[in-house]
Chains A and B, each alone.
Chain A
Amino acid sequence: MSKVNIVEHELVPQHIVLSPEEEEVVLKKYNIDRNNLPLIKSTDPIIQELEEQLAEQSEDEGKVSLKGRIIKIIRNNSPAGEGVYYRYVIE
């Protein structure tokens, strides 16, 4: 069975890993700390996929962990139009 690339699936919204600077902007905008964000598990397939992609891009070998980072999710499938979410990666 061939592996489906979930990132490209039409039902999977766009997930973007925020840079530490962008993270600060978001936290400041909502006047919160990370723990007030909705959560996403690092075992979530999309996070695993993003981690793999990052590992390929980085020079030094080895696993990249997104734990503790913030993911920006852009959903475009609701009648309200584009919706932006942020999630905090745990475990």
Chain B
Amino acid sequence: MNEEDIMLFGPPKKIKEISFGVFSPENVRKVSVTTIIQADTYDDEGYPINGGLMDPKLGVIDPGLKCRTCNLKFGECQGHFGHIELSRPVIHVGYSKEIYDILKATCKECSRLLLTEERIEHYEEKLRQEGVRGSIRQSIISDVLSEAAKKKGVLKDSTCPHCGTDQLKVKFEKPTSYKEGDKKLTPSDIRERFEKITERDARLMGWNTEVSRPEWAILTVLPVAPVTVRPSITLESGIRSEDDLTHKLVDIIRINQRLRENLDAGAPQLIVEDLWELLQYHVTTYFDNEVSGVPPARHRSGRVLKTLTQRLKGKEGRFRNNLSGKRVDFSARTVISPDPNISINEVGVPDFIAMELTVPERVTSRNIERMRQIVLKGSNAYPGANYILRPDGKRKRVTDITSDILAEELEEGYTVERHLRDGDIVLFNRQPSLHRLSIMAHEVRVMPYKTFRLNLCVCPPYNADFDGDEMNMHVPQTEEAQAEARILMRVQEQIISPRFGEPVIGGSQDYLSGAYILTKRGTRFTRSQMDQMMYVSDIDAVLPEPAGEEDGKPYWTGKQVFSLLLPDDLNISYKSKICQKCDVCEYRDCKYDAYVLIEDGVLKTGVVDGATFKARSNCKLLDKLVKDYGTDVGRKFLDSVTRLILWSNALIGFTTGIDDEDLPKEALNLIEKVLTEGKDKVKRLIESYREGYLEPLPGRSERETLESRIMQALAEARDKAGTISERYLGMNRGAVVMAKTGAKGNMLDLTQMSAALGQMSVRGNRLHRGYAKRSLSSFDREDLSAASRGFVSSSYKQGLNPKEFFFHAMGGREGLVDTAVRTAQSGYMQRRLMNALQDLSVRYDGTVRTNDDIIVQFMYGEDGIDPAKSTYGKAVDIDWIVHKNIKAKKGA
């Protein structure tokens, strides 16, 4: 709240309670500043007509005019309600259901609730009980209504317990007419009845008589919304175009007037009734133009009018579009694309966006010359400025014409809204914003072209790819917000996930296979290649001694290059992703070079792959760098290693092709033999089942036993086939390198490509549905064989026959449906969890409390440990501390 607001409205007040009720006619007249009697808006000269729908007392919509009621200017006056006195009462559509409920539950003669005094007291007692609120209260009320309603239309006992009058059945004809027996009930009849309802009865039917009376659900006077709610627009041609609500109100006033004239003239009943019904129609559609059973009111052009309900409802309505989700200033949205040459901390911002979004910068004695230069550039050149703010608050647009005058005018204390420039901090976001890391702070890098650029390592937390994804950017406007964003939200501060305490930002795909190629045994680089790699990856180190000489020329190994990225005192060992999990690990003598050993910052043995720096996969090295050396070192490592690998990949090359899945003839024969054996085994199982020899498994029927034995036999056969093919799939094949290093795919995928797909399944069972007792019409009924129940013995490379192809599609469909259902369900669950937990916070004493200080946990997570700052769930890594101390002692 600013000072001006405080002067106008007084100091901020705390809302104690809000009560909701039905607007009474008395209140409608009380808030009204004028009664509207004219159906017209403006006169011939273009002035609003007094007593018309655009009465100047209703507020101002023209700049320069003052409000006839409150004397405030356009934009300051919020507008004032008027009212229309209706010639005859009409039903309010929003309450038609409630009106029906009351009609059913009350006596047609004395208006009492159709319950005996005894029952009334019983229900009153129930409602009085403590804690009766919300849905419990609602269910008691609906019990009251339905019990009372039973008195009507039931032949025996259909009399009022209070006055003894026989009751008739009430029928509701949607949306606004009611019939009692054969007689139509007019709104006037209904209102008369409702006026007689006692306070006690009304309360029992759910009406809080302090704020609402049932008869107020029938309108006798209609509020007219202020003009500010339904402004008229002047088209370029000078013709005024009125808001849909105004059109509707014109209709209401016209019919209201004609009805009054006919009533005054004593017109025949039939004509009056027709007009009354027409008035009801217009008032109904004024509130809601999508009521079922009512033709929607249309504009002259045939367009359906948007009335009150339509303004609020749905995705484009006030709630979802203007209250829950607002559009904000200082933000931009465009397509994203990758840029491996910028830091993970940066975001590439297109120049045309940088010239639209601005940062306010205060002019001081130190920057005044620079600010002058910026203002002088104007708003159409980069780096320029769009506005300057004078100390008195006056804002001036910088244009090509005014730029030199404004630059001259600049003094200390002015503020310049300058274009975004390199190094500015911005918030970057990708929907759906499911976790904290969906919005992170990046440093701006202004670039040509039209897309946001981001480093590939930050794709995992955003879950972003480049198949057309768009992202949003927001520019913090105060120094405080900028500092907060930089310290708390910067990408490098988010490398370790707060959820599982491991890196969520890190290498993927080509970086991992490339790292393997770079660091495997036998990779050698010349002097000039070393120079290139050290240059592009920004390595600030002395060229190490060459590993050896070949043909009289020195060479360096990939492991040497990689070591240049590591801190000098780093010591760590772990197993690579490519580890074959040998029975006895030979550590540094591993024949696959899968044991990573780093001593004093030198990679002695082992290859670098997914286990070193892959995002979200328990990578060891990146994790250690960030936790022990800080986020700066972690960020620097990622920036450098990715650029290094990019370059080495370009030098060495890496490819995959269909021949990566080639198997020699003898392997294919072996695989076919294994699969045939499997299918034969299935045949024998079926035979023994048919002959009744099959021993049932405990708790299973013979049929179930057969099914599980078949599945087992076929899975075994496929696994054997896979193992055979794996024997031939060595690291000389690109696809295998990708699978083993964690870059893309896995060995199962590769064996499915080279050997056989195996069993297709739906809900964990072999395929059996489709035709009666068979999966496809090309099999015999009750055929339980492997082929007829969806076992695919072809590989992707060989190709599937038509039946196999269809089975494959059946299995594939299940996967698609599952993911669709899962995302919908988990999304809803997440929303509910977030709503329940969003206000909890960890306090300085380690407790978790709600916003009104109720304790939820006495120690966050019961141990007070932040996963992002701990090593594998422990507050301190004792091994590491001991190790470091011993090292330090030895050194001393």
The residues of A with any CB-CB pair to B shorter than 8 Å are 30, 32, 35-38, 75, 78-86
Contact = CB atoms under 8 A, between A and B. Distances in A.
17 contacts: A30-B855, A30-B858, A32-B855, A36-B849, A36-B853, A36-B854, A38-B856, A75-B862, A78-B862, A79-B873, A80-B865, A83-B858, A83-B859, A83-B863, A84-B858, A84-B859, A86-B858
Interface string B182-210: 00000000000000000000000000000
Given A36-B849, A78-B862, 17 more contacts: A30-B855, A30-B858, A36-B855, A37-B855, A38-B854, A38-B856, A80-B861, A80-B862, A80-B865, A81-B862, A81-B863, A82-B862, A83-B858, A83-B862, A83-B863, A85-B858, A86-B858
B334 interface: no
Nearest 10 A/B pairs, CB to CB: A80-B863, A83-B862, A80-B862, A36-B854, A36-B853, A78-B862, A85-B858, A80-B861, A36-B855, A84-B858
A83 B849 CA distance: 16
Interface in B851-886: 853-856, 858-859, 861-863, 865, 873
A86 B845 CA distance: 15
Contacts of A83: 858-859, 862-863
Interface in B828-865: 845, 847, 849, 853-856, 858-859, 861-863, 865
A28 to B, nearest CB: 12
Nearest to B849: A36
B853 A32 contact: yes
Contacts of A80: 861-863, 865
Nearest to A79: B873
A90 to B, nearest CB: 12
A81 B873 CA distance: 11
A86 B854 CA distance: 12
Q: Give the most central of A32, A79, A80, A85: most B CB within 10 Å.
A: A80
Contacts of A79: 873
Contacts of A86: 855, 858
A86 B849 CA distance: 14
Nearest to B865: A80
Nearest to A31: B845
Contacts of A78: 862
A35 B852 CA distance: 11
Nearest to B847: A30
Interface string B368-400: 000000000000000000000000000000000
Interface residues of B, number: 14
The secondary structure that dominates the B interface is loop
A87 B581 CA distance: 50
Contacts of B855: 30, 32, 36-38, 86
A75 B853 CA distance: 23
A85 B862 CA distance: 9
Nearest to B859: A83
A22 to B, nearest CB: 15
Interface string B438-457: 00000000000000000000
A30 B845 contact: yes
A84 B873 CA distance: 19
Contacts of A81: 862-863
Nearest to B864: A80
A82 B856 CA distance: 16
A84 B855 CA distance: 12
Interface in B742-801: none
Contacts of A35: 854
A56 B863 CA distance: 37
By CB atoms of chain A within 10 A, which of B845, B847, B862 has the most?
B862
A39 to B, nearest CB: 9
B778 to A, nearest CB: 55
Contacts of A84: 858-859
B246 to A, nearest CB: 53
B827 to A, nearest CB: 28
Contacts of B859: 83-84
A36 B843 CA distance: 14
Contacts of A85: 858
A85 B857 CA distance: 7
B878 to A, nearest CB: 16
A44 to B, nearest CB: 18
A83 B853 CA distance: 20
A75 to B, nearest CB: 8
A5 B73 CA distance: 77
A12 B583 CA distance: 43
A75 B858 CA distance: 12
A78 B859 CA distance: 13
Contacts of A37: 854-855
A82 B865 CA distance: 13
Contacts of B873: 79
Q: A35, A36, A37, A82 — which one has the most chain B CB atoms within 10 A of its CB?
A: A36
B375 to A, nearest CB: 53
Nearest to B856: A38
Contacts of B861: 80
A9 B856 CA distance: 25
Nearest to A87: B855
B129 to A, nearest CB: 14
A86 B853 CA distance: 15
Nearest to B845: A30
B499 to A, nearest CB: 15
A79 B862 CA distance: 9
Nearest to A26: B858
Nearest to B852: A36
Contacts of B858: 30, 83-86
A56 B162 CA distance: 58
Nearest to A33: B853
B846 to A, nearest CB: 10
A38 B855 CA distance: 6
A32 B849 CA distance: 11
A85 B858 CA distance: 6
A27 B402 CA distance: 66
B410 to A, nearest CB: 52
A82 B858 CA distance: 12
A32 B856 CA distance: 13
A30 B856 CA distance: 12
Contacts of B865: 80
Interface string B73-98: 00000000000000000000000000
A35 B855 CA distance: 9
A80 B846 CA distance: 14
A38 B840 CA distance: 14
A38 B859 CA distance: 13
A32 B858 CA distance: 12
A81 B861 CA distance: 10
A13 B813 CA distance: 47
Nearest to B863: A80
A79 B859 CA distance: 14
